[in-house]
Amino acid sequence: MSAAMTKSKSRKPSRQILSNDPMAEAGRKLFAQQLRSMRRHEDGSRSGEDIESVHQMRVAIRRMRTLFGLIGPHYRAKTVVKYGGGLRRIARALGRIRDLDVLILDLRDFQATQPEPIQTALDEVIGILDARRSRFRKRLNARFDSKSYARFVRQFRRLCRKPGRGARPLPKTETPHQVRHVLPLLLHERLAIVRAYDTVLPAAEDTTLHALRVEFKQLRYALEFFLPLLGSTAQRFLVEVKAMQDLLGRINDIAIFTEYVQGLEQLTPEQAAAIASYTADRDHELIGLREQFYAKWQSFNSRVRQRQFSDSLLVLR
């Protein structure tokens, strides 16, 4: 191998996040990872053959939107607005399909436990939902086929490939901008937002629990982004964060599901009765889920868990 080729290879930007990376550079690497994931699941989202494709594509977009929220101040404002807005529009189109994907799965699970008349009525309801999902997928595919989507992906890929593109210039070289300097405060702020909900629990309404779920998700993503740089206790703390998010996610899903099916119009008496049985069953499940959540909240908010979090940051030097 020639010296020129060796030199060229050495100049290839690293994909690994380093503790002394500027936050904008760490963001570039993370955006590149998630953009690849988004594109990898595009074909499956188009076809609908595997509902996991829509889910994974949506997760990649959520992670990128969360990342803009976390480290947006390290980028030019127009960069955040441009790409954040583009991601939001794609996420909205995917979200309509994903909501129906998981609702139909949940109805199928409930259907399997019911007598034949209710099973038949639910088949009809699922047919209505599936037809609606097909219409949403046509709109999604029209977006994928649009010139604006192709242009967005092309420009975002450029942002991810060139170090420094879209980054905000530093006013002073001593301004905190490296990962090792910025990350501890960033993570502590995300945790503080979550823990502040202790003032309104356990008497929180579903809307408050939904907001808390979003904050848990952002804390989880922030930890996962930088997990390779954190101490070993970060993984154990992350397990607790995921468990909390999963519980709150199921609570939120039920709220969405019941509201969605109760809003269906022109149902037959048999279909309406089947939906009533479904919502009653899910309302009963909610009681147990809330009890589980409040019990786990006490554990999550304990000194042991908070020490796991704090200890994981000590390796950042």
pLDDT, one tens digit for every residue, the chain (317 residues): 444 444 444 455 568 999 999 999 999 999 999 999 999 999 999 999 999 999 999 999 999 999 999 999 999 999 999 999 999 999 999 999 999 999 999 999 999 999 999 999 999 999 999 999 999 999 999 999 999 999 999 999 999 999 999 999 987 778 899 999 999 999 999 999 999 999 998 888 889 999 999 999 999 999 999 999 999 999 999 999 999 999 999 999 999 999 999 999 999 999 999 999 999 999 999 999 999 999 999 999 999 999 999 999 999 87
Which position has the token pair 């953009």? 35
* Domain assignment present for 3: no
Same domain? 81 vs 133: yes
Number of folded domains that form the chain: 2
Q: How far apart are alpha carbons 100 and 132 in whole angstroms?
A: 8
Same domain? 143 vs 186: no
- 3-class DSSP state of 178: strand
267: CATH = 1.40.20.10
* Domain assignment present for 6: no
Q: How far apart are alpha carbons 213 and 34 in whole angstroms?
A: 21
Residue type for position 73: P
Q: Domain range for residue 132?
A: 23-158
Same domain? 204 vs 304: yes
Cβ–Cβ contacts within 10 Å for residue 43, how many? 12
Same domain? 188 vs 149: no
Give the relative orientation of helices 179-195 and 51-71 as an angle to the nearest 10 degrees: 110
**DSSP state at residue 169:** P
Q: pTM for the complete prediction?
A: 0.90
